[in-house]
Amino acid sequence: MVTSTHEASHRIFQDHPEVLAPVFQALGLPPPAKAEVTVVTPDTTEIKPLERRVDSVLKFELSEGESFLLAIEAQTKKAPDKGVNWAYYVAYLHAKFGLPVLLLAVCRKRSTATWAAGPFECRVSTWQSQVTRPFVLGPDTVAEITDESEVARQPALATFSAIVHSESAGIDAILNLLARGMRSFDLPTVKYWSEMLEIGLDGTPARETWRELEKMVVTYFPGRGTVFEEAYLEGQAEGEVKGEAKGQAKGQAKGILRILDLRNLPVSDDARERITTCTDLDRLDDWLDRAGTVERAEDLFGEG
């Protein structure tokens, strides 16, 4: 079953191949930044009757060395049929594109990561017809981010590291460090990485920890139920029920106040009155955008 966590665990590579730096370094390849990367269709479905689909497939055209395909699988638990499916993916993609294939498994649990490393063999007696050995990114192969400055320098790798270590004992400290490191980001960057992390933590206690730290207003992943999406949509819903500009303004104001409350920022009576009595929707939109990053409620009213 496809889940939010499953999607975040492999889709991050499509937009941010720099996360693959540890893989390239371990294999002695040039850094991903020096490669031309394109997303390739992950569909490996036969005409009939069985559908097979790789989570993500990327084509790397290196500045040095031969090109190859990277087939990425986000694996949350052991699966008896995965060895056969993975062997099929590698063989099919190799035959279809005429390029060597590196199979990459992303695992949050150590036990799953150990299992996913294989090898998965197709053998008759002592003869091996085929051996599949995924390269695994898991808690033992992805370093924890312990330097706040690293978050600013490599937000993709820092976010991915937190997702991989989401079931590790030190995840609370990792998330607190990430929250501090994200303070240097501009608002769109905060929104994107904060929500990418939240959906990546789905299904773990760490998600609730991050929801308390999250400083984001609107959503890049609609329908995922993140904390600030809920605040934003609640305000929007109230406005739609009212069916008029005044009702929309009240909905916006409610969303602003809820976000400030979630961030534990005190709101003075004067500030609350200014927010709730404002009828300028453009101004309210601006305040809603800034509510996730200001240090005081009064800072909403300064210059943008």
Place of tokens 């937000």: 155
Distance CA 76, CA 48 (A): 28
Domain co-membership, 133 together with 44: yes
What pTM was computed for the model?
0.61
Domain co-membership, 130 together with 48: yes
Q: Is 219 within the bounds of a domain?
A: no
Domain co-membership, 232 together with 205: no
Please identify, among 213, 235, 255, the residue that sits at the C-terminal boundary of a domain. Answer: 213
Domain co-membership, 95 together with 130: yes
Domain co-membership, 119 together with 167: no
Stretches where the chain sits below pLDDT 70 are 1-9, 34, 44-52, 215-247, 303-304
Domain co-membership, 26 together with 63: yes
Q: Tens of pLDDT along 174-184?
A: 988 888 888 77
Q: Is 61 within the bounds of a domain?
A: yes
Please identify, among 113, 137, 161, the residue that sits at the C-terminal boundary of a domain. Answer: 137
Domain co-membership, 257 together with 181: no
Q: Is 163 within the bounds of a domain?
A: yes
Domain co-membership, 202 together with 231: no
Domain co-membership, 205 together with 286: no
Domain co-membership, 17 together with 84: yes
Domain co-membership, 191 together with 240: no
Dihedral in degrees, nearest 10, Cα atoms 264, 267, 273, 278: -60
Report residue 70: phi and psi, to 5°: -115, 115
Burial state string for 21-47 with b = 16 or more CB within 10 A and e = fewer than 16: bbbbeeeebeebeebebeebebebeee
Q: Is 63 within the bounds of a domain?
A: yes
Residue 264, domain extent: 227-301
Q: How many domains does the chain have?
A: 3
Q: Tens of pLDDT along 251-282?
A: 778 888 877 877 778 889 888 989 888 888 88
Place of tokens 């789905």: 202
